[in-house]
Structures are given as C-alpha cells and as structure tokens.
Amino acid sequence: MRLFLPVIAAALMTAQAAQAQDVPTTYGAGGEDLVLELGGGGSVAPAYEGADDYVIQPRPFFSLHYLRLPVIGDFGGKPEREFSFGPSFRVVRERDDNDYAALTGIGDVDTAVELGGKVRYRRNSLEAFLALRRGVTGHDGFVGETGLNVITRPLERLEFKAGPRLSFADGEYMQTYLGVTAAQAAASGLPFFDADGGVKGVGLSGEARYSLTQSWTLVGYGGYERLVGDAADSPITKAGSENQFTAALGLTYTFGLDLFD
C-alpha cells in the first residue's frame, strides 16, 4: 500500500486541479507523427513464475497509440479502428535462489527484457489481440499471450475491458524458468524436469482507465492465471502454486510529437 499511495495522491491532485476536457478519440489529427502514453506506478505479482510468494515492485506503463511514417503510412489512430499493430514489451524481475527456500540450489536468472509486437482487432465492444515477444536479456526464448476483451464505457471518462487470456512459451523460455537440469536437481534436491514449450497458462484479466484530463489517465489492472501443462507440472510450481495473481495501479501521461516536419 505504501507504493500505491503516492500514485493515488498524485491522481487525486491532478483531478482536482484539472478542468473538464473531452476524452481524445483520434490521435494524429493535430499533425503529430508519434503519440505515446508513458507512466509509472506499482504492482503486486508472484515473486517468480510458479511462486506462491508475492512482491510489490515499481511498474512502468507504456503504449504506442499512433505512429506516422513517411511513405510507409500510419499505425493506430482511432481507438475503435478495427486492425492495429504496436510494440509489446515486458520486464521480468531477476530470480535469486538465495531469496526463497524452495529455489535453493536452482541457480539465478538475470532480469529479462522481452521485446516484440502486438496485433489487435476491434469491432464495436469486442476486441481480440495477440502479442509475441523474444527475450533479449535473461532468456533467449519466445513468449506471448492472446485473449479477448469485452469493452464497456459506463461513464464518458471511464473505460473497462476484461476477458479470457491464454499464454504460451517455447521450450527455451520454459526451461529457463520452470525446468530443472541434472546439475540443478543434484544441488537443490528437486527432481530433474525437462520443460517443453506450449500453452503455459489460462485465465482472466481486466483493465480500468479513468481519464483525469485529456492527457492524464489513472490506470488499474488485475489478472488471474492458472498454470497448465509443463508449467503446472514443474517441480518449481509444485513447490509454489499453479495460481498466479497480479494487480497494478499507475498514472500515465499521453503526448504527441511532430517528427518529420
């Protein structure tokens, strides 16, 4: 709660100071070539994949709403646009086997940065998406998510989206976080486990966005994932939990840049 309180306080002060403005519906209409949403906050998440311990940590927020490239064309724009494509990234905190008794002898995994892309299709109040990323640090595997959202707007400035999720990963990712090599088994006492790629988890997640002003937005997120397949069968998960919960709260700022004048 100490991590979330500054975010909530900043949001309330911004809301009190701001004058009412229309929520933007079209990006790039003012001549911008790039429209970004950046922010930060805090999150509660499992300490590592398959853990039953949770940690509170900083959470960055980033969205590319619009990009216009000379000759190539534009990406994004109206939120209700049917097809859109943008970047996808994730940071996975380091795993230190000295921090958790269940991991003793399993070895450390460095902080992972995953970069990739996300494609989205929206029609009225329904949205489908697919995200795929590759680890550039921490692991060399591919990981991604797909899902559906039902989108509602009970108030002009308040939007909810929620729906089912499915996550997947290749063998490289699975072995890094959920596999147990022969050497690790000898050091930790856990059984040897060769983790294969495939569907990693199924669950539900949702997001709420409240537009404080035309530029400032309060964002909240919550999700549940049930690990399945080799992710659930891993000795690391057996020592932890198949049930993975996450929550986040943050404040973001949306701005545009004119790049190609």
Q: What is the 3-state secondary structure (H, E, C) of 99-166?
A: CCHHHCCCCCECCEEEEEEEEEEEECCEEEEEEEEEEEECCCCEEEEEEEEEEEEEECCEEEEEEEEE
CATH code for the domain in which residue 43 is found: 2.40.230
Closest CA to 170 of 196, 206, 133: 196
Confidence (pLDDT) at 14: 41
Our count of domains for the chain comes to 1
SS3 content of the chain, % helix, strand, coil (to 5): 15, 55, 30
Each residue's pLDDT expressed in tens, for the chain with a length of 261 residues: 444 444 444 444 444 443 333 334 456 566 678 888 999 999 999 999 999 999 999 998 988 887 888 877 777 655 555 777 778 989 999 999 999 989 999 999 999 999 999 999 988 899 999 999 999 999 999 999 999 999 999 999 999 999 999 999 999 999 999 999 999 999 999 999 999 999 999 999 999 999 999 899 999 999 999 999 999 999 999 999 999 999 999 999 999 888 876
Q: Looking at this protein, which amino acid is placed at residue 36?
A: L
Q: What is the pLDDT of residue 29?
A: 60
Helix (H) or strand (E) holding 188: helix 182-188
What is the residue range of 134's domain? Answer: 5-257
Partners of residue 64 on adjacent β-strands: 36
Neighbours of 124 (CB within 10 A): 8
pLDDT the model gives residue 138? 93
First to last CA, the chain: 45
